[in-house]
């Protein structure tokens, strides 16, 4: 039973008559207060090839795909080895820094409306080698202050204050390259980072250590840092204690979704026991992956299995931790470490959001990407509202597994000054047995009753499963080519988006009964919208990324649309700037679309010359109409 404001009730009854799969029947405690699980990513750079990796055309396209999740569904990209993009020269004992490469990457994030999870990691030109050297510690503070002031000047304090500055990644793994980093040296480094950022602005956030926090006395740098911040001596000020704006830890699942949450709770219980004044400090798990080892190929990472597992992890955190009345953990951010770019021949099976094809059979070579279900599901998560509501789930098969089906329900109240916004309710259901698949099907009945009375309520459903929305399966069907043809890419990309039904009018009596069969794995979302007072606003920021001859990625920005109740975006083309026709045949709520007509349609190829006009328009057939 979902409990909405104003005593509105929605009950869900699941039956598993077709299989042994049945839903979760444990306690689900909701709250009507706003909740946030900040969706973020981690992007790993190569220390040796950081300039090539971070600033390549491949990365430009990869970040465009990341930012194409609608409604700002992904906001942060967490990046290792950023300071390797800075070079340093010494003249008459003075250091001179060149930020050009780092500026270019920050500009690329800015262009894509993404903020960095900014790890202060790396040694510019290998200059910094020992943080027990007082001179180097002082110069490091100056570098961090210079860096922070630079980006405040470049983007504004309001924007940079949103960045999560973080320590060197996983210090207890000792991946410091050529830097000598003892425990004492790491604490000196931390103080230098903290004071450098504070010199730029007291509004900048800084936390860490971004590591495993194995039970004490393991993970010595992790525990030493907390002790230092709690009652240690600041290297620069001599004061007792050093600021710690958030605690970043890494807990992965070893193939189990619930194991992530269990490890987090265990670590935080020990932290709160040893450092009780840290109870209110925000907690980030910014590498909450189901399995370690991003490059190890796993078939389940290729399809909806991974997507459903990511949703399951988020819903478990919301329902089993954040919404609990007795929760003492200030859980603020859950992030997946999956913005990598795959390499041959593992196009879909590595821990990535996209499948990258390096098309070396063209002159010049180029890159094509395909959106994987794990990125598509972020678009469904973006449809959730700000307020969680109560859920009651009943399973008719008490002997069945109760951990494979779960649900999260939310509502959204429109902003008064945005007439294109409207009241919404979202019900997100997953069927997931973690990283396992089966032929089992859960028969789900959703019973919505006593809904709030709004003008012309309509609803749409979205479904992801391994049969209908599986680009990996389509790639295998066409022979698993290294260099898919234009036609093959079209077939593969036709499986990127969820299966959408509707819009349908919501029953006038305020009661809706929906029956849905959920394969294992799958994700099912119901989005209910009231009619807004005005149509959606126009999209902005239309631009193109050339891919190869006759093919481009078309991108746009939905920030100003001010409505999540969109049926689709329409991409229109004109060869003369007068008569336009739609060229994206399939509906999409994502803000990136690949135009690749192929040789058979050469007369409609997109020409980048000035006499051709290109238009992207938000469709007026929004689902509330």
Asked if pLDDT for residue 621 goes beyond 90, the answer is: no
Could you tell me how many residues make up the chain?
625
Read off the pLDDT of residues 525-540 as tens digits, 9 standing for 90 and up.
Answer: 999 999 988 889 889 9
Question: Which residues, 6+ apart, have CB-to-CB distance to 570 below 8 Å?
Answer: 582, 584, 616, 617, 618, 619
pLDDT at residue 398, as a whole number: 62
Which token pair is 276? 């009780």
Asked if pLDDT for residue 27 goes beyond 80, the answer is: no
All domains of the chain, ordered by start, with CATH? Answer: 2-32+386-529 (2.60.40.1500), 38-376 (3.20.20.80), 540-618 (2.60.40.10)
State whether residue 526 is helix, strand or coil.
strand
* 503 upstream amide cis, omega within 30 of 0: yes
Asked if pLDDT for residue 347 goes beyond 80, the answer is: yes
Q: What is the pTM of this model?
A: 0.89
Question: Which residues, 6+ apart, have CB-to-CB distance to 224 below 8 Å?
Answer: 183, 186, 187
Asked if pLDDT for residue 606 goes beyond 60, the answer is: no
Cβ–Cβ under 8 Å, residues 21 and 442? yes
Instruction: Give the lowest-confidence range in 170-184, 384-398, 409-423, 574-588.
Output: 384-398
pLDDT at residue 40, as a whole number: 43
Which token pair is 455? 């003008």
Backbone angles phi, psi at 427, to 5 degrees: -120, 115
State whether residue 493 is helix, strand or coil.
helix
pLDDT at residue 1, as a whole number: 44
Q: What is the mean pLDDT of residues 537-548?
A: 93
Report the alpha-carbon distance of residue 34 to residue 399 in Å, rounded.
35
Report the alpha-carbon distance of residue 370 to residue 594 in Å, rounded.
10
Asked if pLDDT for residue 102 goes beyond 70, the answer is: yes
State whether residue 212 is helix, strand or coil.
coil
* Among 75, 39, 70, 113, residue whose Cα is nearest residue 567: 70
Read off the pLDDT of residues 230-250 as tens digits, 9 standing for 90 and up.
Answer: 999 999 999 999 999 999 999
Name the band, by pLDDT with cuts 50, 70 and 90, for residue 511: confident
Q: What is the mean pLDDT of residues 510-534?
A: 92
The percentage of the chain sitting over the pLDDT mark of 90, rounded to a whole number, equals: 72
Report the alpha-carbon distance of residue 417 to residue 400 in Å, rounded.
48
State whether residue 190 is helix, strand or coil.
helix
3-state secondary structure 326-379: CCCCCEEEEEECCCECCCCCCCCCCCECEEEEEECCCCCCEEEEEECHHHHHHH
Asked if pLDDT for residue 30 goes beyond 90, the answer is: no
Report the alpha-carbon distance of residue 5 to residue 389 in Å, rounded.
8
Asked if pLDDT for residue 315 goes beyond 70, the answer is: yes
Asked if pLDDT for residue 420 goes beyond 70, the answer is: yes
Report the alpha-carbon distance of residue 544 to residue 549 in Å, rounded.
13
The CA angle 553-555-559, to the nearest 5 degrees, is 165
Cα 24 off chain centre by: 25
CA dihedral 286, 288, 292, 297 (to 10 degrees): -100
pLDDT at residue 201, as a whole number: 98
pLDDT at residue 196, as a whole number: 98
Cβ–Cβ under 8 Å, residues 341 and 327? no
Asked if pLDDT for residue 616 goes beyond 60, the answer is: no
DSSP, residue by residue, 402-440: SSSEEEEEEEEPPPTT-TT---EEEEEEEE-BTTB--S-
Catalytic option among 84, 166, 170, 264: 170
pLDDT at residue 601, as a whole number: 42
pLDDT at residue 500, as a whole number: 97
Name the band, by pLDDT with cuts 50, 70 and 90, for residue 145: very high
pLDDT at residue 416, as a whole number: 79
Q: Mean pLDDT across the chain, nearest whole number?
A: 86
Name the band, by pLDDT with cuts 50, 70 and 90, for residue 329: very high
Read off the pLDDT of residues 197-224 as tens digits, 9 standing for 90 and up.
Answer: 999 999 999 999 999 999 989 999 999 9
Report the alpha-carbon distance of residue 226 to residue 187 in Å, rounded.
10
Name the band, by pLDDT with cuts 50, 70 and 90, for residue 402: low
pLDDT at residue 99, as a whole number: 98
The percentage of the chain sitting over the pLDDT mark of 70, rounded to a whole number, equals: 85
pLDDT at residue 603, as a whole number: 41
User: Active-site residue 570, yes or no?
Assistant: no
The two most distant CA atoms of the chain are separated, in Å, by 81
How far, in Å, are 18, 193, 229, 231 from residue 239 at the CA level?
65, 16, 11, 9
Radius of gyration for the alpha carbons in the chain, expressed in angstroms and rounded: 25
Asked if pLDDT for residue 297 goes beyond 90, the answer is: yes
Report the alpha-carbon distance of residue 422 to residue 254 in Å, rounded.
41
Between 16 and 457, the higher pLDDT residue: 457
Report the alpha-carbon distance of residue 59 to residue 77 in Å, rounded.
12
Highest mean pLDDT among 73-87, 446-460, 572-586, 594-608: 73-87
Q: What is the mean pLDDT of residues 462-467?
A: 97
Report the alpha-carbon distance of residue 384 to residue 410 in Å, rounded.
6
């Amino acid at each position: 039973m979902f409990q909405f404001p104003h005593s509105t009730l929605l009950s869900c009854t699941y039956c598993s008559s077709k299989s042994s799969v049945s839903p979760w029947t444990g306690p689900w405690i909701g709250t009507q207060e706003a909740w946030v699980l900040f969706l973020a990513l981690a992007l790993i750079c190569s220390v040796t090839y950081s300039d090539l990796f971070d600033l390549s055309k491949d990365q430009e396209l990869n970040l465009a795909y990341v930012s194409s999740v609608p409604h700002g569904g992904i906001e942060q990209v967490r990046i290792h080895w950023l300071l390797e993009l800075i070079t340093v020269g010494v003249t008459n004992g003075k250091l001179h820094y060149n930020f050009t490469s780092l500026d270019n990457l920050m500009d690329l994030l800015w262009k894509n409306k993404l903020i960095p999870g900014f790890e202060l990691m790396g040694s510019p030109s290998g200059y910094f080698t020992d943080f027990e050297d007082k001179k180097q510690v002082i110069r490091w503070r100056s570098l961090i202050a210079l860096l922070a002031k630079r980006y405040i000047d470049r983007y504004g304090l309001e924007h940079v204050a949103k960045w999560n500055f973080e320590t060197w990644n996983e210090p207890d793994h000792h991946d410091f390259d050529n830097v000598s980093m003892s425990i004492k040296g790491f604490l000196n480094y931390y103080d230098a980072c903290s004071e450098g950022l504070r010199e730029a602005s007291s509004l900048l956030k800084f936390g860490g250590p971004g590591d495993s926090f194995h039970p004490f006395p393991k993970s010595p740098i992790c525990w030493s840092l907390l002790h230092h911040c709690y009652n240690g001596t600041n290297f620069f000020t001599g004061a007792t204690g050093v600021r710690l704006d958030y605690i970043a830890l890494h807990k992965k699942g070893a193939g189990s979704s619930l194991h992530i949450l269990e490890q987090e709770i265990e670590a935080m219980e020990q932290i709160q026991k040893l450092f009780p004044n840290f109870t209110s400090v925000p907690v980030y798990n910014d590498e909450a992956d189901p399995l370690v080892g991003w490059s190890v190929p796993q078939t389940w990472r290729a399809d909806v299995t991974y997507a459903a597992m990511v949703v399951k992890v988020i819903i478990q955190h919301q329902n089993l931790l954040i919404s609990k009345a007795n929760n003492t953990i200030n859980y603020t951010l859950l992030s997946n470490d999956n913005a990598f770019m795959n390499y041959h021949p593992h196009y879909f099976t590595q821990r990535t959001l996209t499948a990258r094809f390096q098309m070396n059979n063209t002159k010049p070579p180029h890159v094509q990407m395909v959106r994987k279900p794990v990125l598509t599901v972020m678009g469904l998560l973006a449809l959730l509202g700000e307020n969680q509501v109560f859920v009651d789930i009943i399973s008719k098969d008490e002997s069945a597994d109760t951990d494979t089906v779960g649900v999260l329900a939310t509502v959204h109240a429109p902003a008064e000054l945005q007439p294109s916004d409207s009241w919404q309710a979202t019900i997100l259901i997953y069927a997931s047995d973690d990283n396992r698949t089966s032929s089992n099907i859960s028969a789900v009945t959703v019973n919505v009753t006593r809904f709030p009375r709004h003008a012309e309520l309509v609803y749409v459903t979205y479904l992801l499963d391994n049969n209908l929305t599986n680009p990996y399966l389509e790639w295998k069907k066409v022979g698993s080519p290294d260099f898919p043809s234009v036609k093959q890419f079209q077939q593969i990309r036709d499986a990127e988006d969820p299966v959408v039904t509707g819009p349908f009018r919501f029953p006038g009596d305020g009661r809706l009964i929906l029956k849905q069969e959920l394969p294992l794995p799958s994700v099912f979302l119901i989005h209910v919208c009231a009619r807004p007072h005005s149509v959606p606003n126009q999209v902005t920021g239309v631009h193109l990324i050339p891919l190869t001859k006759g093919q481009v990625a078309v991108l746009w920005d939905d920030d100003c649309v001010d409505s999540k109740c969109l049926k689709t975006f329409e991409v229109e083309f004109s060869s003369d700037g007068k008569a336009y026709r739609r060229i994206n045949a399939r509906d999409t709520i994502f803000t990136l679309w690949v135009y690749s007509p192929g040789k058979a349609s050469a007369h409609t190829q997109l020409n980048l010359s000035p006499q051709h006009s290109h238009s992207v328009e938000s469709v007026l057939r929004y689902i509330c109409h």
